[in-house]
Amino acid sequence: MNQEMNKEIHLSIRGVSKTFHINKGELQVLDDINLEVEKGEFISIVGTSGCGKSTLLKMVIGLEHATKGEIRVGQRVVTKPSIDCGMVFQEARLFPWLTVKENIEFGITREMPKEEQAKLVQHHIELVGLSGFENALPKQLSGGMQQRVSIARALVNKPDVLLLDEPFGALDALTRINMQNEVLKLWEHEKKTMVLVTHDIDEAIFLSDRIVVLSARPGRVMDIISVELPRPRERSSDEFLHIRSKIFKYLTKDATDDVNLGKYL
């Protein structure tokens, strides 16, 4: 997909470690993470639960701070949240007192004339397929629809990088597959750099250019796997399944190591 010679590094994570202090104890969740993401690339980060993959994303957006190392988005060193990065959380996190339209409107931080704002909001409502639900309250929507609103809210600010933190984890299997197709369409259409954190291996292979496999706590990069299959990808093709079993082995081997280690702790 990204075979052009002059690749532009859009997001760089250099030597990032993170240690939490809990009850006077220390808990290292990430250890020396290095990753460079090119402009327009779709990257997934997979790992078992508790490996710090969500923490990594929170550091990229600036809600958490790295204990060691540096994260850059473009030329900017990340120290706090900035609207050049958008974020979709695991839960839709909509404001329950705002309608669909108002929730998406909340995503706009840049100053702009009212008309332009209304146009932009309407465009994004259509983009995520929610026409007709403009004035609905979040409580009237299904989980999948709520997550669509949340995606539209993140996109409406026109971020350069979109971060997705297990955005479909709480959805049922069918809705999840639909949403994956939609995100793929959005990515092809908007050409944004996207970083997806997930524990769903299929989801990662279906969407990503490259998949970062993290080990169990403390999270280290075990492998970065390039997926060079044409899109849309056939989930039951041999290549797909091959990659799947490769990642699966990484994650389960890692889990058994963890169990063995448990004997000595």
Tell me which residues touch another protein (CB under 8 A): 61-63, 81-83, 85-87, 89, 91, 93, 95-97, 106-107, 109, 137-140, 157
Q: With beta carbons less than 8 A apart as the criterion, state whether 255 and 262 touch.
A: no
**Identity (one letter) of the amino acid at 212?**
V
- Among 258, 261, 265, CA closest to 47: 258
Q: Tokens 């540096």 belong to which residue? A: 70
d(CA 71, CA 89): 20
d(CA 167, CA 159): 17
| Residue 99 C-alpha from the chain's centroid | 25
Nearer to another protein, 81 or 232 (CB): 81
- Closest approach, Cβ 158 to another protein, in A, equals 12
Nearer to another protein, 17 or 99 (CB): 99
- Closest approach, Cβ 58 to another protein, in A, equals 9
- Closest approach, Cβ 72 to another protein, in A, equals 18
Nearer to another protein, 156 or 247 (CB): 156
Cβ-based neighbours of 227, under 8 Å, separated by 6 or more: 205, 208, 209, 210, 211, 233, 243
Nearer to another protein, 44 or 157 (CB): 157
- Closest approach, Cβ 90 to another protein, in A, equals 10
Helix (H) or strand (E) holding 120: helix 114-127
d(CA 179, CA 192): 17
Which residues face 96 on adjacent strands?
none
Nearer to another protein, 194 or 216 (CB): 194
- Closest approach, Cβ 139 to another protein, in A, equals 7
- Closest approach, Cβ 87 to another protein, in A, equals 5
**Identity (one letter) of the amino acid at 33?**
I
CB neighbours (10 Å) of residue 20?
Answer: 14
